[in-house]
Structure 1
Amino acid sequence: MMKSLPLATPPSSNWSAVGSMSMCVALLIASEFMPVSLLTPIAHDLGATEGLAGQAISVSGCVAVLTSLLITGVAGSFDRRRLLCALTATMLLSLVLIALAPNFGLLMLARALLGVTIGGFWSLSTATLVQLVPAESMPRALSVLYLGNAAATAFAAPIGSFAGALVGWRGVFWGLVPLAAAALLWQWRALPSAATRQSQAQAQAQGQVLSLLRRAPVRRAVAGVMLAFGGAFTAFTYFRPFLERHGHADAAQLSLLLLALGVAGFPGTWAAGAQVQRHGEALLRLLPLALGLVTLALPWVGAAHWALALLLFAWGLLNAALPVAWFHWLTHGIADAPEAGGGLMVAAIQLSILLGAGVGGLLLDHVGVTAPLFGGAALLAAAAVSLGDGRRLRGACLPSTRCAAEPPAP
């Protein structure tokens, strides 16, 4: 297992470092999924269908998968602060190129650069938190990290939709550029240097991300992650066309509906952080099941905007809790290889986003506007079934290593 300089009682400055990572997470989420709220104008401006424009999310996911599988093999050779800041700088460059993109090809290239940051940053985030805070503070640190997720989910889509109508979709991405620059500066000042010390054998073990799949509980976890996140993003990527066509929402109504979806991320993240220590296994099983039921209910309420708002709030609540539950499982489930486990987890999530956005786009273009929701609900149900009662995920650490204690049974 990779060893870093011990931080028995982390100083308060380390919480500033956690905050800087949370801001980067917020910008990553906003940048990655901003096309969801701007899908229609991007497609119109670049001469593409909405389903094809949705593949801008898929390409970032594809590159993120490759990056997450490769980065743990080299991470131990670099100062952690420099590596994370380099990834944030890559996101900054991507945002500039997206705002300037004159055609769909350059947009896809810029999104590929964003995928490098997504795969690298998420792969290293959990292992970095382990170095920054003591074990008993990990649930709190994860909650702080995912507050950035909740903030971006809350405000990126409605602000993107509203601002896009005022300044255009390019103006929206230009607005993210100074925020990314501020995040880069904060990270450089707040993150401590964290050069790791490891043997050659340990470096090889950390780099062999796919070797974790030899462990049966890890294989089950990867399957559950891919089904859950794939189902969520099969539906989520195409919420805007669904709300416009099926829900008959105009620009103002669309912004309010997306705001209801996003604001729910705050209580969802907080509730997951408060409950995950005691009920982690139950959350992994119940969250995708409940999310699938809410997704199924959306097409049946028609153009009743108050009902759509309530359902979207519930959807956002459940969706925000999902990554908190899974990354908490990572901190104890694969505690003997946190960076390799983080890379594998991120690869699984990003691959599922790629496939989900791709399948959803095909369903939208060839079946109908509600088809992505039904397809997503089916995948979410399959995720719940694949996990059973959660006991199948136990014993993911090697018997010869020292891992965190298993969570109590639900």
Structure 2
Amino acid sequence: MFFPLYLLALAVFAMGTSEFMLAGLLPDIAADLDVTVGTAGTLTTAFATGMVVGAPLMAGLARRWPRRTSLLGFVLLFLAAHAVGAVTASFTVLLVTRVVSALANAGFLAVALTTAASLVPPDRKGRALAVLLSGTTVATIAGVPGGSVLGTLFGWRATFWAVAVLCLPAAIGVLTAIPAGRAQEDAAAGPALRSELALLKGPRLLRAMLLGALVNAATFASFTFLAPVVTDTAGLGELWVSVVLVLFGAGSFAGVTVAGRLSDRRPGAVVAVGGPLLLTGWFALALLADRPVALLALVFLQGALSFALGGTLITRVLYEAAKAPTMAGSYATAALNVGAAAGPLVAATTLGTGAGDLGPLWVSGLLIAVALLVAFPLRTVTAVGPDGEVLR
């Protein structure tokens, strides 16, 4: 059943490329549409906000639709939004397309997470999630740098068209390989929407979501602002920014792959070992960022640890929300994107302080420290199996 998961990962790759690609395109978009770079930056905020709001909203709307229909619809909506964005001359229209794209992305990921968990045995959710998240990690390795090159050579609109084209094979894959039905059966035979939402009152689920959000906030706090660390602090040329981003992406792919084999049966070990290492790594990177060799090595390591720990915690969200068969994926998606939206906002407040370009790295370390403080007295929250047994 892993082949359909790889097809879902292809769609996640296209959507992940779109989510991250604006970092290198904002100046060109601003110049082309006659707005300031700061105004163009609201495109990123709009996308992140749409993801957070869209995950539970779209999952709730689609809970009685067949999963294949939902996934295909979200992919096609995502494709259409990028096609419109690629041809518009209005910043307002482009902003709207980013919100629509985020809603489609959030809906797709929420349904895809639930679908992925249903395609494998109950004790292999972590493996399934690792395959799905590999689409995001490959986007940071290949999609984002590739989009940057396309934007440089042919303009920012070419990157939007490329993302739209990537959606075509993903749509065909969903149509041909994802089993029809299941959502209707789950919604009819399972609990009512009110009961699924009531699970959000449970401390285990809330704590797993909080931990996942904190780790993802730490990840994006530094990932968003790596460029000035590379060029100013380490003194490397601009081309090295792409190298560093690829290294981070390669590390994240390795981390999510390895953790996917451990997060089902040994989640506590992943958190106990990976958490302190991740904490130490962020502080080490803040202290050694002016040394290029140390910077390159630590960026790879932090990418691996961030996604290993984050992926494990999001897997726990799916386990804790097992009694919400149509909404569990949206809870995981919301936790990821709350972190992705909040981390850069907190990190940005440090850029004008004495910490300068290194401020986001210190923020990442502090966020992981908070996560460890939350996790330490609640170790069993991250170690509850599909049948409620405690795993170590």
What is the TM-score of this pair, normalised by structure 2?
Answer: 0.87
- Does 2:185 align with 1:197? yes
**How is 1:299-314 mapped onto 2 (pairs within 5 angstroms)?**
299-314=286-301
Distance 1:231 1:302 in 2: 17
Distance 1:198 1:143 in 2: 24
- Structure-1 residue corresponding to 2:199: 212
- Structure-2 residue corresponding to 1:222: 209
- 8 Å CA contact 2:125–2:264 kept in 1: the answer is no
Distance 1:61 1:336 in 2: 27
Residue by residue over 1:26-56, the C-alpha shift from the partner in whole angstroms, topping out at 9 and shown as x without a partner, is: 1121111112344554456556666665543
Distance 1:24 1:305 in 2: 35
- 8 Å CA contact 2:186–2:326 kept in 1: the answer is no
- Structure-2 residue corresponding to 1:171: 158
- Does 2:365 align with 1:382? no
What amino acid does structure 2 have at the position aligned with 1:388? Answer: F
- 8 Å CA contact 1:98–1:110 kept in 2: the answer is yes
Select which of 133, 141, 166 maps to 1:154.
141
Residue by residue over 1:7-43, the C-alpha shift from the partner in whole angstroms, topping out at 9 and shown as x without a partner, is: xxxxxxx433212101111112111111234455445
Distance 1:287 1:364 in 2: 28
Superposition RMSD in Å: 2.9
- Structure-1 residue corresponding to 2:50: 63
Distance 1:22 1:285 in 2: 28
User: How many Å apart are 1:236 and its aligned residue?
Assistant: 1.4
- Unaligned 5+ segments in structure 1 are 1-13, 398-402
Distance 2:257 2:118 in 1: 22
- 8 Å CA contact 1:26–1:148 kept in 2: the answer is yes
User: How many Å apart are 1:68 and its aligned residue?
Assistant: 1.6
Select which of 356, 381, 384 maps to 1:393.
381
Distance 2:359 2:132 in 1: 33
- Unaligned 5+ segments in structure 2 are none
User: How many Å apart are 1:338 and its aligned residue?
Assistant: 3.6
What amino acid does structure 1 have at the position aligned with 2:165? Answer: P
User: How many Å apart are 1:217 and its aligned residue?
Assistant: 1.4
Tell me which moved more, 46-55 or 248-257.
46-55
Tell me which moved more, 293-302 or 83-92.
293-302
**3-state SS of 2:155 partner:** helix
Residue by residue over 1:345-380, the C-alpha shift from the partner in whole angstroms, topping out at 9 and shown as x without a partner, is: 211221222222333344446773332222232112
1:376–1:280 Cα change, 3 Å:
same
- Structure-1 residue corresponding to 2:317: 330
Distance 1:348 1:117 in 2: 17
User: How many Å apart are 1:112 and its aligned residue?
Assistant: 0.8
**How is 1:274-289 mapped onto 2 (pairs within 5 angstroms)?**
274-284=261-271, 286-289=273-276
- Does 2:250 align with 1:263? yes
**How is 1:2-401 mapped onto 2 (pairs within 5 angstroms)?**
14-39=1-26, 41-42=28-29, 53-102=40-89, 104-195=91-182, 196-197=184-185, 202=190, 204=192, 206=193, 210-284=197-271, 286-364=273-351, 368-388=356-376, 390-393=378-381
User: How many Å apart are 1:97 and its aligned residue?
Assistant: 3.4
Distance 1:39 1:119 in 2: 22
Residue by residue over 1:99-152, the C-alpha shift from the partner in whole angstroms, topping out at 9 and shown as x without a partner, is: 335454333222211211222122122321233222344343233222222211
- 8 Å CA contact 1:58–1:353 kept in 2: the answer is no
What amino acid does structure 1 have at the position aligned with 2:116? Answer: L
Distance 1:315 1:288 in 2: 11
Distance 1:342 1:217 in 2: 16
User: How many Å apart are 1:161 and its aligned residue?
Assistant: 3.5
- 8 Å CA contact 2:280–2:365 kept in 1: the answer is yes
1:49–1:317 Cα change, 3 Å:
farther
**3-state SS of 2:261 partner:** helix
Residue by residue over 1:258-310, the C-alpha shift from the partner in whole angstroms, topping out at 9 and shown as x without a partner, is: 22111223321221112223321232355454334323333433443332211
- 8 Å CA contact 2:81–2:101 kept in 1: the answer is yes
What is the TM-score of this pair, normalised by structure 1?
Answer: 0.84
Residue by residue over 1:70-99, the C-alpha shift from the partner in whole angstroms, topping out at 9 and shown as x without a partner, is: 234333321111111111112212322343
1:122–1:199 Cα change, 3 Å:
closer
